[in-house]
A and B are shown apart, each in its own frame.
Chain A
Amino acid sequence: MGNGDRFVYVTFIRTTPEKLWYALTKPEFTRKYWFGSSLDSTWGPGASWQLKTPDGGLTDSGKVVEIDRPRRLVLSWKHERFPEMRDDENASATFELEPQGDVVKFTVTHESDKKDSKLIKGVSGGWPIILASLKSLLETGDSIERTRSFPKGI
């Protein structure tokens, strides 16, 4: 992916790769910090995944491109909800979990080979608060309150 769009987000979380992996791949956990949304899959290579709102509406989907539990997960990413973000067929998200002492360096890279991708622009706005909330959940037991439900009016 040469000239496309990419965002790279990093947070350091006081936890273990296993716990972070669990929080990332279990819908009952993602609901707590991902605006109430469930990320669900059987998490095998090539398996499909879906991200759904609390009322079951599909927002994003794709396939598991690469999986190396609990270190690395690559997902192909297609947006399903907003028409203007749906024309991007070659987007992906890569999650990397790297233990460093008593913290885990968690890197999320969201990219597309499409220039000025509306998908990348759209999802990039949500990641920082989702990651901040995930960190809070794993370190304190509580996620950030406004990430526990789906925003009204969207």
Chain B
Amino acid sequence: MSMDAVFRALADESRRTLLDRLHARNGQTLSEMCEGLDMTRQAVTKHLTILEEANLVVTQKRGREKLHYLNPVPINEIAERWIGKYERGRLRALAELKKQLEGKDNG
């Protein structure tokens, strides 16, 4: 499982949309994934294959159906690879500051 495959898979807006949809609701069939999307079934299938090869999507058979699950483990591996413990604390503080500055409470 190469990180190149993960980055390549993520470098496409349609594929990120598919991951977002699984994040919102995990374990969908291909038909469910296609609902309301401006993509052909073939295109969705192709994108899901690339996501599966990058291990960002995992499929399981349940009876006749194939269900798709979001697998965030490779993203965690990447995050741990480049975001050390000191940066993590600093980034959290910055994210907190951004939230406070943009929050309604301080408007």
Contacts and interface: CB of A to CB of B under 8 A. Distances in A.
Interface in B74-98: 74-77, 80, 85, 88
B71 A8 contact: yes
B80 A136 contact: yes
Interface size class of chain A, counting residues whose CB lies under 8 Å from the partner chain: 20 to 34
Nearest to B26: A7
B85 A145 contact: yes
A132 B77 contact: yes
A133 B26 CA distance: 23
A6 interface: yes
Interface stretch (A9-17, A35-43, A59-67, A79-87): A9-17
Contacts of B75: 128
B24 interface: no
A48 interface: no
A25 interface: no
Interface in B24-61: 26-27, 55, 58, 60
B85 A7 contact: no
Contacts of B11: none
A136 B79 CA distance: 13
Interface in B1-24: 1
A109 B26 contact: no
The interface centre, meaning the residue of A7, A103, A132 with most chain B CB atoms within 10 A of its CB, is A132
Interface string A112-154: 0000000000000001110111011000000011100000000
Contact of A107 (B58, B74, B77): B58
A129 B58 CA distance: 17
A10 B26 contact: no
B76 A129 contact: yes
Contact of B85 (A12, A109, A136, A146): A146
A-B residue pairs, 7 tightest by C-beta: A8-B69, A128-B76, A132-B76, A12-B1, A128-B72, A132-B77, A8-B58
Interface of A: 5-12, 103, 107, 109, 127-129, 131-133, 135-136, 144-146
Interface of B: 1, 26-27, 55, 58, 60, 69, 71-77, 80, 85, 88
